[in-house]
Structure 1
Amino acid sequence: MRVYLRQPPIGTAPLRYVQLTLAPDLFGGWELVRESGEIGGRIQLRREQYLLQEEAQRAFDKARDSQLKRGYEITPAPGGDDGP
């Protein structure tokens, strides 16, 4: 599962984005990957491991909702690949 969020343009400030990806790992757990930064600039990548899918899903939903409250909007991912 993947969601791509982008901050609406504010003046001449560079556009910022957040991409959240939730996927099973090789050991039977779940991994939440948070990628954020300026479009065309440096990025920050954080990975969180979870043993249970429900726990990982709650963390994914909480991260998504937090970004939506900050004014980010869900948009199609660049390249047209919306992922599984």
Structure 2
Amino acid sequence: MRLLMQQRPDASDDAPRFVQLFLQPDLLGGYTLVRESGHIGGRSTVRREQFLDQSSAFAALEKIRDQQVKRGFQVMFTQGASAPR
């Protein structure tokens, strides 16, 4: 599953920010939540979190998504069989 979020550009010269979330199964039966964030066209930061099951990883993804929506980000792209609500 993949989710891409972006802030609207403002009047300043700064590039808009983005957050990209990936939810991937690992080889040991768990799940990895990868969060990449930064300015579009600039450097980004990547963070990884490990989860034992899909439900807890999906809950963490939804929590991060909701936090970013409150900060002014909009969902631009969603990919995956079970898109978040």
Q: Quick one: distance in 2 between partners of 1:25 and 1:50?
A: 10
> How far off its partner does 1:10 sit?
1.0
Superposition RMSD in Å = 1.1
Query: Gaps spanning 5+ residues in structure 1: where?
Result: 77-81
- Identify, as 1 or 2, the structure richer in strand: 2
Tell me the equivalent position of 1:70.
71
> How far off its partner does 1:17 sit?
0.2
Q: Quick one: distance in 1 between partners of 2:42 and 2:49?
A: 23
Q: Quick one: distance in 1 between partners of 2:44 and 2:35?
A: 10
Q: Deviations over 1:29-72 (max 9, x none)?
A: 00000000011100000000000111111100000110011000
Tell me the equivalent position of 1:23.
24
Tell me the equivalent position of 2:40.
39
- Structure 1 stretches of 4+ with a deviation exceeding 3 A read none
Q: How many corresponding residue pairs?
A: 79
| SS class of match (2:48) | strand
Tell me the equivalent position of 2:58.
57
Query: Gaps spanning 5+ residues in structure 2: where?
Result: 81-85
